[in-house]
Chains A and B, each alone.
Chain A
Protein backbone atom coordinates (compact mmCIF):
# COMPACT_ATOMS: atom_id res chain seq x y z
CA UNK A 1 0.00 0.00 0.00
CA UNK A 2 1.36 3.47 -0.84
CA UNK A 3 2.36 5.65 2.10
CA UNK A 4 -0.09 8.50 1.38
CA UNK A 5 2.05 11.13 3.09
CA UNK A 6 -0.33 13.79 1.85
CA UNK A 7 -3.11 12.40 4.05
CA UNK A 8 -0.74 12.25 7.04
CA UNK A 9 0.28 15.89 6.46
CA UNK A 10 -3.39 16.89 6.09
CA UNK A 11 -4.41 15.23 9.37
CA UNK A 12 -1.52 16.67 11.40
CA UNK A 13 -1.71 20.05 9.65
CA UNK A 14 -5.45 20.42 10.21
CA UNK A 15 -5.07 19.52 13.89
CA UNK A 16 -2.23 22.02 14.35
CA UNK A 17 -4.09 24.83 12.58
CA UNK A 18 -7.37 24.35 14.49
CA UNK A 19 -5.62 24.11 17.88
CA UNK A 20 -3.53 27.21 17.11
CA UNK A 21 -6.65 29.14 16.07
CA UNK A 22 -8.36 28.17 19.35
CA UNK A 23 -5.28 29.13 21.38
CA UNK A 24 -5.15 32.48 19.55
CA UNK A 25 -8.88 33.05 20.14
CA UNK A 26 -8.44 32.45 23.88
CA UNK A 27 -5.55 34.94 23.98
CA UNK A 28 -7.55 37.60 22.11
CA UNK A 29 -10.60 37.14 24.35
CA UNK A 30 -8.44 37.36 27.47
CA UNK A 31 -6.98 40.63 26.20
CA UNK A 32 -10.49 41.96 25.43
CA UNK A 33 -11.74 41.13 28.92
CA UNK A 34 -8.67 42.76 30.49
CA UNK A 35 -9.31 45.91 28.43
CA UNK A 36 -13.00 45.88 29.39
CA UNK A 37 -12.13 45.49 33.07
CA UNK A 38 -9.61 48.36 32.86
CA UNK A 39 -12.17 50.59 31.12
CA UNK A 40 -14.82 49.76 33.71
CA UNK A 41 -12.50 50.55 36.60
CA UNK A 42 -11.55 53.87 34.93
CA UNK A 43 -15.23 54.63 34.24
CA UNK A 44 -16.19 53.86 37.83
CA UNK A 45 -13.38 56.14 39.06
CA UNK A 46 -14.48 59.10 36.88
CA UNK A 47 -18.02 59.61 38.27
CA UNK A 48 -16.63 59.70 41.80
CA UNK A 49 -14.30 62.53 40.71
CA UNK A 50 -17.25 64.30 39.08
CA UNK A 51 -19.29 63.75 42.22
CA UNK A 52 -16.49 65.25 44.24
CA UNK A 53 -16.20 68.35 42.02
CA UNK A 54 -19.98 68.60 41.92
CA UNK A 55 -20.08 68.70 45.68
CA UNK A 56 -17.43 71.41 45.69
CA UNK A 57 -19.38 73.52 43.21
CA UNK A 58 -22.43 72.87 45.31
CA UNK A 59 -20.64 74.53 48.19
CA UNK A 60 -20.03 77.75 46.24
CA UNK A 61 -23.28 77.80 44.26
CA UNK A 62 -26.69 77.98 45.83
CA UNK A 63 -29.90 76.22 45.08
CA UNK A 64 -32.30 77.97 42.78
CA UNK A 65 -35.38 79.46 44.33
CA UNK A 66 -37.26 79.21 41.08
CA UNK A 67 -39.99 76.61 41.13
CA UNK A 68 -39.27 73.76 38.78
CA UNK A 69 -41.72 73.39 35.92
CA UNK A 70 -42.62 70.20 34.15
CA UNK A 71 -40.47 69.75 31.09
CA UNK A 72 -38.22 72.63 32.06
CA UNK A 73 -35.25 71.49 34.10
CA UNK A 74 -33.99 73.72 36.87
CA UNK A 75 -31.09 75.84 35.53
CA UNK A 76 -27.61 74.81 36.49
CA UNK A 77 -26.04 76.95 39.27
CA UNK A 78 -23.21 78.12 36.98
CA UNK A 79 -25.66 79.41 34.34
CA UNK A 80 -27.71 81.42 36.85
CA UNK A 81 -27.02 85.13 37.46
CA UNK A 82 -25.50 85.78 40.90
CA UNK A 83 -28.00 86.52 43.63
CA UNK A 84 -28.28 90.14 44.70
Chain B
Protein backbone atom coordinates (compact mmCIF):
# COMPACT_ATOMS: atom_id res chain seq x y z
CA UNK B 1 0.00 0.00 0.00
CA UNK B 2 2.75 2.45 1.02
CA UNK B 3 4.80 1.45 -2.02
CA UNK B 4 1.82 2.08 -4.32
CA UNK B 5 1.33 5.48 -2.71
CA UNK B 6 5.00 6.25 -3.36
CA UNK B 7 4.77 5.33 -7.03
CA UNK B 8 1.56 7.36 -7.40
CA UNK B 9 3.28 10.37 -5.80
CA UNK B 10 6.30 9.96 -8.11
CA UNK B 11 4.06 9.73 -11.17
CA UNK B 12 2.08 12.75 -9.96
CA UNK B 13 5.23 14.81 -9.45
CA UNK B 14 6.47 13.90 -12.91
CA UNK B 15 3.10 14.86 -14.41
CA UNK B 16 3.20 18.06 -12.38
CA UNK B 17 6.61 18.98 -13.79
CA UNK B 18 5.37 18.35 -17.34
CA UNK B 19 2.28 20.48 -16.69
CA UNK B 20 4.26 23.29 -15.02
CA UNK B 21 6.90 23.55 -17.76
CA UNK B 22 5.14 22.12 -20.83
CA UNK B 23 1.46 23.03 -20.53
CA UNK B 24 1.23 26.15 -18.36
CA UNK B 25 1.81 29.35 -20.34
CA UNK B 26 4.47 31.97 -19.67
CA UNK B 27 2.88 34.58 -17.43
CA UNK B 28 2.60 37.99 -19.12
CA UNK B 29 3.73 40.23 -16.26
CA UNK B 30 6.18 38.07 -14.29
CA UNK B 31 7.56 35.90 -17.07
CA UNK B 32 8.71 32.35 -16.44
CA UNK B 33 9.58 33.00 -12.79
CA UNK B 34 5.84 32.65 -12.09
CA UNK B 35 6.28 28.88 -12.66
CA UNK B 36 7.54 28.75 -9.06
CA UNK B 37 3.84 29.00 -8.15
CA UNK B 38 3.32 25.36 -9.23
CA UNK B 39 5.57 24.16 -6.44
CA UNK B 40 5.05 26.96 -3.88
CA UNK B 41 1.22 26.86 -3.67
CA UNK B 42 0.88 23.03 -3.49
CA UNK B 43 3.54 22.88 -0.75
CA UNK B 44 1.67 25.42 1.38
CA UNK B 45 -1.76 23.82 0.77
CA UNK B 46 -0.38 20.34 1.57
CA UNK B 47 1.03 21.74 4.81
CA UNK B 48 -2.49 23.03 5.70
CA UNK B 49 -3.68 19.42 5.22
CA UNK B 50 -0.79 18.18 7.38
CA UNK B 51 -1.43 20.55 10.27
CA UNK B 52 -5.20 20.07 10.01
CA UNK B 53 -4.62 16.34 10.42
CA UNK B 54 -2.32 17.01 13.40
CA UNK B 55 -5.19 18.89 15.08
CA UNK B 56 -7.74 16.13 14.34
CA UNK B 57 -5.40 13.33 15.48
CA UNK B 58 -4.53 15.34 18.60
CA UNK B 59 -8.22 15.68 19.54
CA UNK B 60 -8.67 11.92 18.99
CA UNK B 61 -5.63 11.24 21.18
CA UNK B 62 -6.87 13.47 24.02
CA UNK B 63 -10.33 11.83 23.94
CA UNK B 64 -9.42 8.17 23.31
CA UNK B 65 -5.71 8.00 24.28
CA UNK B 66 -4.91 5.87 21.23
CA UNK B 67 -1.16 5.67 20.60
CA UNK B 68 -1.91 5.36 16.87
CA UNK B 69 -3.50 8.83 16.87
CA UNK B 70 -0.41 10.27 18.55
CA UNK B 71 1.87 8.61 16.01
CA UNK B 72 -0.23 10.03 13.17
CA UNK B 73 -0.05 13.53 14.68
CA UNK B 74 3.72 13.22 15.15
CA UNK B 75 4.31 12.01 11.58
CA UNK B 76 2.00 14.59 10.05
CA UNK B 77 3.64 17.44 11.99
CA UNK B 78 7.11 16.36 10.86
CA UNK B 79 6.14 16.21 7.17
CA UNK B 80 4.12 19.44 7.54
CA UNK B 81 7.16 21.29 8.92
CA UNK B 82 9.22 20.20 5.92
CA UNK B 83 6.49 21.24 3.48
CA UNK B 84 5.81 24.62 5.06
CA UNK B 85 9.55 25.28 5.37
CA UNK B 86 9.95 24.57 1.66
CA UNK B 87 6.87 26.70 0.94
CA UNK B 88 8.47 29.64 2.77
CA UNK B 89 11.81 29.09 0.99
CA UNK B 90 10.26 28.84 -2.50
CA UNK B 91 8.09 31.88 -1.76
CA UNK B 92 11.17 33.82 -0.73
CA UNK B 93 12.96 32.78 -3.94
CA UNK B 94 9.90 33.90 -5.93
CA UNK B 95 9.69 37.16 -3.95
CA UNK B 96 13.20 38.37 -4.76
CA UNK B 97 12.72 38.90 -8.53
CA UNK B 98 9.06 39.98 -8.25
CA UNK B 99 8.97 42.11 -5.05
CA UNK B 100 12.65 43.01 -4.97
CA UNK B 101 13.14 41.46 -1.52
CA UNK B 102 13.69 37.98 -0.06
CA UNK B 103 11.54 38.68 2.96
CA UNK B 104 9.17 41.27 4.37
CA UNK B 105 7.27 41.24 7.67
CA UNK B 106 3.81 41.51 6.16
CA UNK B 107 0.80 39.66 7.60
CA UNK B 108 0.95 36.57 5.34
CA UNK B 109 4.68 36.00 5.67
CA UNK B 110 4.72 36.68 9.40
CA UNK B 111 1.75 34.40 10.15
CA UNK B 112 3.22 31.55 8.08
CA UNK B 113 6.58 32.01 9.83
CA UNK B 114 4.75 31.73 13.18
CA UNK B 115 3.06 28.54 11.92
CA UNK B 116 6.45 27.08 10.97
CA UNK B 117 8.04 27.99 14.32
CA UNK B 118 5.08 26.62 16.32
CA UNK B 119 5.25 23.20 14.66
CA UNK B 120 9.03 23.20 14.91
CA UNK B 121 8.48 23.78 18.63
CA UNK B 122 5.99 20.90 18.61
CA UNK B 123 8.70 18.55 17.32
CA UNK B 124 11.27 19.92 19.77
CA UNK B 125 8.82 19.48 22.66
CA UNK B 126 8.47 15.80 21.77
CA UNK B 127 12.22 15.40 21.87
CA UNK B 128 12.66 17.09 25.24
CA UNK B 129 10.13 15.06 27.30
CA UNK B 130 11.25 11.55 28.23
CA UNK B 131 7.87 10.19 29.28
CA UNK B 132 6.10 9.29 25.99
CA UNK B 133 2.60 9.59 27.45
CA UNK B 134 3.28 13.08 28.84
CA UNK B 135 4.99 14.16 25.60
CA UNK B 136 1.98 12.96 23.60
CA UNK B 137 -0.45 14.84 25.88
CA UNK B 138 1.45 18.16 25.80
CA UNK B 139 2.03 17.92 22.05
CA UNK B 140 -1.65 17.17 21.43
CA UNK B 141 -2.57 20.43 23.17
CA UNK B 142 0.08 22.37 21.23
CA UNK B 143 -0.98 20.70 17.96
CA UNK B 144 -4.55 21.91 18.42
CA UNK B 145 -3.60 25.45 19.48
CA UNK B 146 -1.09 25.84 16.62
CA UNK B 147 -3.70 24.80 14.05
CA UNK B 148 -5.68 27.96 14.91
CA UNK B 149 -3.00 29.82 12.93
CA UNK B 150 -4.01 28.11 9.64
CA UNK B 151 -7.10 30.32 8.95
CA UNK B 152 -5.05 33.32 10.07
CA UNK B 153 -2.39 32.50 7.46
CA UNK B 154 -4.91 31.86 4.70
CA UNK B 155 -7.14 34.89 5.25
CA UNK B 156 -4.40 37.31 6.33
CA UNK B 157 -4.25 38.67 2.76
CA UNK B 158 -7.90 39.74 3.12
CA UNK B 159 -7.81 40.92 6.74
CA UNK B 160 -4.65 43.08 6.44
CA UNK B 161 -3.00 45.04 3.67
CA UNK B 162 -0.14 42.83 2.49
CA UNK B 163 2.49 42.64 -0.22
CA UNK B 164 1.50 39.01 -0.83
CA UNK B 165 -1.07 38.40 -3.53
CA UNK B 166 -4.51 36.89 -2.68
CA UNK B 167 -4.83 33.08 -2.79
CA UNK B 168 -4.83 31.41 -6.22
CA UNK B 169 -7.05 28.55 -5.01
CA UNK B 170 -9.48 28.32 -2.10
CA UNK B 171 -10.71 31.90 -2.30
CA UNK B 172 -14.18 33.44 -2.22
CA UNK B 173 -15.73 33.22 -5.70
CA UNK B 174 -13.45 30.34 -6.78
CA UNK B 175 -10.57 30.35 -9.25
CA UNK B 176 -10.84 33.21 -11.75
CA UNK B 177 -7.75 32.60 -13.86
CA UNK B 178 -7.24 30.60 -17.05
CA UNK B 179 -7.73 26.81 -17.07
CA UNK B 180 -4.24 26.51 -18.58
CA UNK B 181 -2.98 27.72 -15.19
CA UNK B 182 -5.61 25.95 -13.08
CA UNK B 183 -4.91 22.39 -14.34
CA UNK B 184 -1.16 22.43 -13.78
CA UNK B 185 -1.83 23.83 -10.32
CA UNK B 186 -4.38 21.10 -9.51
CA UNK B 187 -2.12 18.30 -10.82
CA UNK B 188 0.76 19.58 -8.70
CA UNK B 189 -1.52 19.95 -5.69
CA UNK B 190 -2.65 16.33 -6.05
CA UNK B 191 0.99 15.20 -6.47
CA UNK B 192 2.14 16.98 -3.32
CA UNK B 193 -0.82 15.70 -1.29
CA UNK B 194 0.05 12.16 -2.46
CA UNK B 195 3.69 12.75 -1.54
CA UNK B 196 2.59 14.00 1.88
CA UNK B 197 0.42 10.88 2.37
CA UNK B 198 3.33 8.65 1.32
CA UNK B 199 5.78 10.28 3.74
CA UNK B 200 3.25 10.18 6.59
CA UNK B 201 2.47 6.49 5.97
CA UNK B 202 6.17 5.64 6.05
CA UNK B 203 6.83 7.78 9.13
CA UNK B 204 3.89 6.23 11.02
CA UNK B 205 5.18 2.75 10.15
CA UNK B 206 8.64 3.75 11.36
CA UNK B 207 7.33 5.23 14.63
CA UNK B 208 5.40 2.01 15.30
CA UNK B 209 8.48 -0.12 14.57
CA UNK B 210 10.61 2.12 16.84
CA UNK B 211 8.07 1.80 19.65
CA UNK B 212 8.03 -1.99 19.27
CA UNK B 213 11.84 -2.20 19.10
CA UNK B 214 12.37 -0.14 22.25
CA UNK B 215 9.48 -1.70 24.25
B36 at the interface (CB under 8 A from A): yes
Would you call the interface of chain B mostly helix, strand, loop, or mixed?
Answer: helix
Q: Are B35 and A14 in contact (CB under 8 A)?
A: no
How many inter-chain residue pairs (CB < 8 Å) link A and B? 74
CB neighbours of A10 from chain B (8 A) = 93
B90 touches A11 (CB 8 A): yes
Q: Are B93's CB and A30's CB within 8 A?
A: no
Contact with B along A67-81 (1 / 0, CB 8 A): 000000000000000
Instruction: Count residues on chain B whose CB falls below 8 Å from chain A CBs.
Output: 31
A63 lies within 8 A of chain B by Cβ? no
Whether A7 lies near B96 (C-beta < 8 A) is yes
Q: Determine if A29 is an interface residue (Cβ-Cβ < 8 Å).
A: yes
List chain B residues, Cβ under 8 A from A53. none
- Return the CB mask of B79-116 against A: 1 if under 8 Å, else 0: 10010011001100110110000000000000000000
Q: Which residues does B use to contact A, with CB under 8 Å?
A: 26, 29-33, 35-36, 39-40, 43, 79, 82, 85-86, 89-90, 93-94, 96-97, 195, 199, 202-203, 205-206, 209-210, 212-213
Q: Can you give 13 A-B contacts (C-beta < 8 A)? A: A1-B29, A3-B31, A7-B97, A11-B36, A11-B90, A22-B82, A26-B203, A30-B202, A30-B205, A30-B209, A33-B206, A33-B210, A34-B209
Interface on A for B, CB 8 Å cutoff? 1-5, 7-8, 10-12, 14-15, 18-19, 22-23, 26, 29-30, 33-34, 36-37, 40
